[in-house]
Amino acid sequence: MPFVGFSNELEAFESSLVGKLIEPVAAVVFGGTMTVITVVVTGIANLVLLDLDLTKEIEEKEASHFIFKT
């Protein structure tokens, strides 16, 4: 999981840098806005995800956790 560790460190660096360059409140608003924009763009770029229904798979997986094997 080296990528996850590096990603977290990079995010911490980026967050502190933005916090130093602009006001903390503005940095939080900017971060939230960019998150919403990322979600919207990803949703528009991958319209097939809107029709994805994993309900059956989730229910099967949850049911398999409650089966006791003897």
Question: Who has greater pLDDT, 44 or 68?
Answer: 44
pLDDT at 68: 59
Helix (H) or strand (E) holding 3: helix 2-21
Which is it for the CA torsion 22, 25, 28, 34, positive or negative? negative
Query: How does pLDDT run across 7-48, given as a tens digit for each residue?
Result: 788 878 887 887 788 888 888 888 889 889 998 998 899 888
Band of pLDDT at residue 2, cut at 50, 70 and 90: low
Q: Is 11 helix (H, G, I), strand (E, B) or coil?
A: helix
